[in-house]
Amino acid sequence: RPAPAWTRDGAFLVVRKLEQDVPGFWRFAFAEAASLAQQPGFAGMSAERLAALMVGRWKSGAPLARTPRRDIPTLGADAMENNRFGYAASSSPFSARSPERSGAPFPEAAADERGVACPHAAHIRKMNPRDLDTVDGGAADTLTRLLLRRGIPYGPALANPLAPTRAELRAPRGLMYLSYQASIGDQFEFLMRRWANRDDQPQGGGVDPIIGQGDDAAGKRMRRIVITGTGGRAATLELRRDWVHAAGGGYFFAPSLTALRDVLAG
């Protein structure tokens, strides 16, 4: 039976309300960074860098793949450059640049198959391994898993995440997640089930530290991720609580503009 005309060129929409424990995240980052800084291979580790290692980007949005040691806010603000990198191969200079861009070029990304600059478990690497092969196929197969995603923050920012006021703690805070895809099962649910929530996929390194959900053998919440310091020294971080909680959401169908104009409004 053919689908109704109004479904043509439509997309499935996933909506999630994700509450965020911002103070808890930063308490962990500061405490763990201070501990790591005492270990060989991790001298000088800061909370900001540890947070970037878990996300895959600095607070500005600059990717670790292109600037693994320090944040470059201008790179994070450049919509053309902050998404131009891979993991299997080094990036090459690009002749085009944003109209507002001036000054010296940004550093290019070095090949990072081993997950040294950007850990295998970093959120953005778990959700999009880019040019790397996975057990589910090559880079072309990964493209079929991608979706159009946007996040809408809600709630006030914290002046000091380590010492929030009572009023700040009472205020709801988080992200409204919206994604469009051709197949919820093959894209959104695949990414969550197969990549975010498994410690061995798409390339190992641990469960997604930001949105992953993993319990140990005793049924207690536990996620482990591996990061690499200088000299190839590795450290395993244990995450015993979630900082992101799904508080609601749903699956929807979004008709195309053509359907809204020519079919449903007709």
Q: Is the pLDDT of residue 137 over 70?
A: yes
- Taking the mean position of all CA atoms in its chain, how far away is CA 82? 14
Please state the domain count of the chain. Answer: 1
Q: Is residue 130 part of a domain?
A: yes
Q: Is residue 101 part of a domain?
A: no
The reported pLDDT for the residue numbered 175 is 97
The reported pLDDT for the residue numbered 217 is 63
Q: Is residue 157 part of a domain?
A: yes
Q: Is residue 70 part of a domain?
A: no
pLDDT tens-digit series, residues 163-182? 999 999 999 999 999 999 99
Nearest to 52 by CA among 207, 210, 161, 224: 210
The reported pLDDT for the residue numbered 101 is 65
By the 10 Å C-beta count (0-12 exposed, 13-18 middle, 19+ buried), 150 is classed as exposed
Q: Is residue 210 part of a domain?
A: yes
pLDDT tens-digit series, residues 230-239? 999 999 999 9
By the 10 Å C-beta count (0-12 exposed, 13-18 middle, 19+ buried), 100 is classed as exposed
Q: Is residue 225 part of a domain?
A: yes
pLDDT tens-digit series, residues 244-255? 999 999 999 999
- Taking the mean position of all CA atoms in its chain, how far away is CA 53? 11
The reported pLDDT for the residue numbered 176 is 98
Q: Is residue 108 part of a domain?
A: no
Angstrom distance (rounded) from CA 105 to CA 107: 7
Mean pLDDT value across residues 17-23: 97
Domain that holds residue 157: 5-23+123-264
Q: Is residue 60 part of a domain?
A: no
